[in-house]
Structure 1
């Protein structure tokens, strides 16, 4: 992007003003240019969702000169360096959850809240809680910033043979890493008081003869340093991440892909536009019906958009909800029968260990410092990461987040005609049990190697995943570029492409890399 004006606009958005960037491109509210842009309902391409897949699609379509609309159900959140913005486990607010009446989160007590368009959807599916972002920037607003690729052998075990790991590792992973500007935790941050728990975690792992390494992260370490210097409102250093870091400590998609997309001049972004249905329009175009929302959640009415190319990137849960319903209700009857199958929870597990004799201070920092991949010792290959479970941030404890390479346990999204909704129909606690056993065996090994450490039983009764994957599995329901079989002009570019498991990694990096690869080919082929 060589245009100095565009660089200026990206700089504006990087300071937390996507709306200001949109005005600079489209005109100020009240102007004729803005009114004409805001009233349009047909676009060459429409992208549902502004998470990792949707943001990649928006940027690459925009740079190709494709007239594109991005619709996002959640709000655009500003950056507020001087005062709190998001809620946390110790400061409950109504804007933490997407239209819930009671909080529900690992380690968090249930507290009544007013339903509102908050940053996190927590869906109580049978035998599994599924969490997903609901904001401009999607999951990047609420994730922990870990940016890691799966080991080659497990990627190749899970993905179609035509999908080259070498191509992703030499071209598309580096592209995403450059766009996200990821880097490991600097030594001075690692040595600071809020990350005493990170140093303890690494030491415990070393005592158990497990080698850790620093992990790339999307946190902005300059902002974290300003937190340590007490010049901005603390967020990352006091354990906030799960519901966003309002001071800009997390370099989410609103500071990387999205401003670059809007700066092309070919992309519009409309927030608080919740997609209710997709289908075919009268002239063969795709129809997308959205419910417009006020910032307090008030329904403002319905709008129908049409497009020639539809990119579905609503996140695994909501992409499956939209497409399975479209097939079963007859709005897209040609969708493949395989769509909705192959769901998995990425083997997500949380583990907590207590060490009463090891003081770590009253609060702990949220960014992950280290990771280790353990391929063969605990039943399933697993990646463990230094983590923070926010509800236990003040306790003398170290937390581990783990993802296991589980190739066997899968679920299906099905349409329930009695309720006219799509649900995860056949998940069971047993499908999470193998991953749980692997992580327990790992934790026991660490406890044995560290006298004074004790296991902690988490106060969370429900299996949980923050990484729902599958349902529109690549190579099964789509081709290798996410083109949905049997539906020309329909594409999927989010976590539902992944075959229920990312192969021993947090999935956001792979979702973005697959989207980069797909869009390069789609643009080159003209569709």
Structure 2
């Protein structure tokens, strides 16, 4: 026997009321009005909300299948330079292109030797007012979430680390999927589309721009850890040309977290989205936020949108209809759309599993000192790093991306973006009073991350005779930052195994929301491969 929640009761009651009006007195004027509205609004066979890894995959494969598809993206299409000749902001100094309507750049490294990035930003006037920038930082409970906003999503702002999950990681996250097929078919498909390339090891061993990574490798090996030389969606060939002075610099010129003006040839906007638009069956509307979704009796989904310009001025509100609705707006975006629809009664039959199973992929950041004999170097590449790879540890698996502090001076510091395994999960909830979602991430979840990460880095610091740094994250040694939010619409619970949302036909999720909170390495290759599998299965009618 199913339990009828208060939310579902209210939604059902609203439906009964509408039905009663129709069964008793038919308001012909209202019927004609609804028909006129439906006839006036544009209609597409499919709408894809979001243009990151999942949205890019869905849009391309729908377009190739001949499906008339519209992409809706909340952020900008970063395809035209500004007056300075650049599309994106450097990390040092950053301008208002860095943050989503913020005059403070949302930096993962928030301080250095007692100097706050926020304080520096307050005294560094930008040539432009706040705007629809490329990265957003939001606080949710006891952790901060960073996400890319724009056509291409997170592929615009991440470190382009194309980490490949192990067989064990695939089996743990997706027990119903054949790991050999996932890795051999869908990961390989993602590699080809995202132009994943690998470093010239001879160059890597001698370039000054990866001195910090070689030092990090030495420190990891002293502690008994191997390293993973990840592939990258940033071109290593371009990076070599940067060093040789043959092309404009980007990765070697303090560009990364707020976009790369050059060299990031594997971003979703330049790969999947470009290919989707080239089919002639796909179009895109950027700076267009989805404010609501509903379903008509005819089966048509109606998407309500708000369009703005770059500076935040509202240009209009519109409704667009579609037969298939594909939600790929990232964990927070997809959860907000679905939870708002469920909790306001627009789609009352959505599962109670919506919003559950959120995890931060075990993310926590840490930094430590380097010995004076092991300088990080004053020249650094902010892309193409290497990783501590302890994923085979049965007790405390870890994957940690090494990075240098982005300053043109010797810092004698090494930072890590760490992924450990705790099993902690949280709920994403919709607050009707603020019309927004929040994550209930308690302090004890962060404490568990710190304990796990400290066990790893006590080995690293102890084996090399160095101390932790507490000046990189405003007095903290371990910083609860995540750029890898996962879950909230977990496959097999809130959806079927291909992302079909339970309770409604022709409603799909195909992004990081499907992954059950943890994969254990940088997840964009896993997200892309899963999206490839899902949309293939949907187009082929697999169940």
Which bin holds the TM-score, normalised by the shorter protein?
A: 0.7 to 0.9
- Structure 1, unaligned runs of 5 or more: 1-38
Which residue is 1:383 aligned to?
A: 399
Displacement after TM superposition at 1:395 (Å): 1.7
In 2, Cα distance between equivalents of 1:179 and 1:375: 26
Alignment match of 1:177 (pick from 174, 191, 196): 191
TM-score normalised according to structure 1 size: 0.86
Displacement after TM superposition at 1:141 (Å): 0.2
Displacement after TM superposition at 1:493 (Å): 0.4
Is the contact between residue 162 and residue 233 of structure 2 (CA under 8 Å) also seen in structure 1? yes
In 2, Cα distance between equivalents of 1:398 and 1:74: 33
Which has more radius of gyration?
A: 2
Which residue is 1:487 aligned to?
A: 504
Which residue is 1:270 aligned to?
A: 285
Alignment of 1:303-322 (within 5 A): 303-322=318-337
Deviates more, 1:132-141 or 1:215-224: 215-224
Displacement after TM superposition at 1:226 (Å): 2.6
Is the contact between residue 194 and residue 271 of structure 2 (CA under 8 Å) also seen in structure 1? yes
Displacement after TM superposition at 1:182 (Å): 0.7
Summarize deviations over 1:350-406 as a string: whole Å, max 9, x none.
Answer: 221221512333231112332243146695311122234547985222222211233
Give the direction of change, closer, same or farther, for the CA distance of 1:336–1:510 in structure 2 (3 Å limit): same
Summarize deviations over 1:47-92 as a string: whole Å, max 9, x none.
Answer: 0011000000011001111110111111111376995442244212
In 2, Cα distance between equivalents of 1:124 and 1:392: 30
Summarize deviations over 1:160-203 as a string: whole Å, max 9, x none.
Answer: x3222222012111111111121222235422111111111112
Which residue is 2:70 aligned to?
A: 69
CA RMSD of aligned residues (A): 2.3
Give the direction of change, closer, same or farther, for the CA distance of 1:104–1:139 in structure 2 (3 Å limit): closer
Displacement after TM superposition at 1:429 (Å): 1.9
Give the direction of change, closer, same or farther, for the CA distance of 1:207–1:254 in structure 2 (3 Å limit): same
Is the contact between residue 379 and residue 408 of structure 2 (CA under 8 Å) also seen in structure 1? no
Q: Secondary structure at the match of 1:471?
A: coil
- Structure 2, unaligned runs of 5 or more: 1-39, 111-116
In 2, Cα distance between equivalents of 1:76 and 1:95: 13
Which residue is 2:390 aligned to?
A: 374
Is the contact between residue 404 and residue 413 of structure 2 (CA under 8 Å) also seen in structure 1? no
Is it true that 1:99 corresponds to 2:101 in the alignment?
yes
Is it true that 1:509 corresponds to 2:511 in the alignment?
no
Which residue is 1:398 aligned to?
A: 414
Summarize deviations over 1:118-168 as a string: whole Å, max 9, x none.
Answer: 111212222221111101111100011111232222332333x32222220
In 2, Cα distance between equivalents of 1:477 and 1:361: 48
Give the direction of change, closer, same or farther, for the CA distance of 1:389–1:439 in structure 2 (3 Å limit): farther
TM-score normalised according to structure 2 size: 0.84
